[in-house]
Amino acid sequence: MKNNNKTVREIALEVLDSVEKNQSYSNLLLNNMITKHKLSGLDAALLTELAYGTIQRKMTLDYYLSPFVKFQKTQGWIINLLRLSLYQLVFLDKIPDHAVIFEAVEIAKKRGHKGNTSMVNGVLRNVQRKGVPSLDEIKEPAERISIETSHPRWIVERWLEQYGYDKTLEMCKMNLLASVQTARVNIRKTSRNEVISLLREEGFEVEPSVVTPDGIKALRGNLTHSEAFKAGFFTIQDESSMLVGYAIGAEGDEQVLDACAAPGGKSTHIAERLSEKGRVISLDLHEHKVKLIKDQAERLGLSNIRTRAYNSKNVQEIFGLGQFNRILIDAPCSGLGVMRRKPDIKYTKTQEDITSLSGIQSELLDAAAPLVARGGTLVYSTCTVDKEENDNVALSFLKNHPDYEEDYSLKDRMPDPVKPLVNGNMLQVFPQDFGSDGFFIACFKRKVK
Ligand SMILES: C[S@@+](CC[C@H](N)C(=O)[O-])C[C@H]1O[C@@H](n2cnc3c(N)ncnc32)[C@H](O)[C@@H]1O
């Protein structure tokens, strides 16, 4: 359990501190830590469980700690150490209580003075003796969901209003579960059956996705470490994200603009479905992001993608009106559909972010709209579940663009299990539908006349 003289729990505490202090993204930070400390499979899995679990359950843990700790008067790292320890005591049954408390005290000794050590020891032993307060004390439904599932109250209230009690509770509970790694097969190079056989030969536990025809689910092992990945046989992508590639329906020699394209998950999907002569033009704001798309295209052996660092609000300055058969706006969004993979999102996003993002989303759609050829397709997607960024943006787009209409072929383009979720030209996938990301897709068609 020791790496560079740091235990996995010490590293987990560093992750918690950094996520809180520097607003670092937990998923990126965790990957960096795993590499920096050269963590092996089991230790990497434990670090992920401890750091993600503690962040995911932060509000519940604070409720449990509240009778025992004066939050205002306690240093941040001590609160994090207590959260980390309590998470193990309450939510993990494979680690004995005495080991959890012993390690917490050792960390406190290394990090702080004697007073800190005895406080950590005292709080954890007190919790052990008296037990944590019952959630049944919380009578009000929004507050109960908020504390029990660690979602800020404003998010719970919005979802209650938009989707009702049952869906909200289901979604909040689902968001606490670990996400499963999934991959999309590069149909240019190989088939799903072949990739599954290759991965199994390499010792990975995988199965076909039941959501998408080109998807694979990893039950054990990180697929990016496989030879099949290096050979460009697949892309790591969430199953909901894959749906966008089907929704846009690109084929043959078509010209497609992907206006918010990095790191390239959807651009490469579209390119795989086009011919060699077809083109995906992939834009994103910064050179370093565009490089991610180029790297993926190269790994996958795709020569029909062109990239450029560009602000897509100004696309009309570089492309001709009606130039593209299809355009995708996979817009920047609040990401409230991907909380399982980025648990810190729920604590950092605000209602103001949602409003300002919906403005940006509309601007991007407005800028791209005239570049779609008559009879062509415009697809708008987000990885969020908030109606202000989803349905409302889609509806106001149609209202402001009389040259567009709903594209009802969205349903035909969806894989069978997804079809029942399509509502006209829109699709909202919730995390609880398939265990994939919360995702929204709207399809528009530019009128022929
Ligand atoms: C949801 S992500 C795109 C994910 C990508 N489509 C994929 O499947 O891999 C949104 C992207 O939009 C980019 N973005 C935000 N504002 C933009 C703008 N004005 N012009 C171009 N790209 C923008 C962000 O940098 C971010 O990479």
What is the pLDDT at residue 31? 85
- Cβ-based neighbour number of residue 298 at 10 Å: 12
Domains of the chain (ranges; CATH) run: 2-133 (1.10.940.10), 148-174 (no CATH), 182-236 (3.30.70.1170), 239-446 (3.40.50.150)
* Catalytic residue positions, numbered: 383
What confidence tens digit (pLDDT) does each residue in 88-125 have? Answer: 999 998 889 999 999 999 999 998 788 889 999 999 99
What is the pLDDT at residue 41? 80
Quick one: residue 435, left, alpha or beta (phi over 0 = left, psi -120 to 50 = alpha)?
left
Query: Which residues on adjacent β-strands are paired with residue 245?
Result: none
User: Residues 230, 298: contact at Cβ < 8 Å?
Assistant: no
Sign of CA dihedral 220, 235, 337, 50: positive
What is the pLDDT at residue 227? 97
Respond yes or no on whether the N-terminal peptide bond of residue 370 is cis (omega within 30° of 0): no
Residues placed in the known binding site for S-adenosyl-L-methionine: 260-266, 284, 330
Alpha helices in 309-350 (DSSP H): 345-348
User: Which are the contacts of 42, defined by CB distance < 8 A and separation ≥ 6?
Assistant: none
What confidence tens digit (pLDDT) does each residue in 337-393 have? Answer: 999 999 999 999 999 999 999 999 999 999 999 999 999 999 999 999 999 999 999
Listing from the earlier edge strand, what are the strands of the sheet with 215-220? 205-208, 215-220, 182-185, 234-236
- Hey, what amino acid is at 154? W
What is the pLDDT at residue 4? 52
Please state, in angstroms and rounded to a whole number, the distance separating the CA atoms of residues 97 and 76.
23
- Give the DSSP H or E segment for 361: helix 351-368
Sign of CA dihedral 134, 140, 145, 147: negative
Closest atom, ligand 1, to C-alpha of 269 = 8
Among 241, 283, 285, the mutation site with the greatest number of ligand 1 atoms within 8 A of its Cβ is 285
Please state, in angstroms and rounded to a whole number, the distance separating the CA atoms of residues 336 and 393.
16
Q: Is the ipTM of this complex over 0.95?
A: yes
What is the pLDDT at residue 1? 47
Please state, in angstroms and rounded to a whole number, the distance separating the CA atoms of residues 233 and 215.
12
What is the pLDDT at residue 30? 86
Tokens representing 29 are: 């930070």
Determine which residue's CA is closest to atom 12 belonging to ligand 1: 260
Residues of the chain short of pLDDT 50, as ranges, are: 1-3
Query: Which residues on adjacent β-strands are paired with residue 218?
Result: 206
Helix (H), strand (E), coil (C) string for 65-94: HCCCCCHHHCCHHHHHHHHHHHHHHHHCCC
Among 248, 260, 305, 330, the mutation site with the greatest number of ligand 1 atoms within 8 A of its Cβ is 260
Which is it for strands 324-330 and 255-258: parallel, antiparallel or unpaired?
A: parallel
Closest of 444, 187, 445, 238 to residue 341, by C-alpha: 238
What is the pLDDT at residue 39? 87
Tokens representing 202 are: 């390499």
- Give the DSSP H or E segment for 98: helix 97-111
Q: How far is the CA of 348 from the centre of ligand 1 (A)?
A: 19
Tokens representing 442 are: 């709207």
Closest of 146, 328, 360 to residue 246, by C-alpha: 328
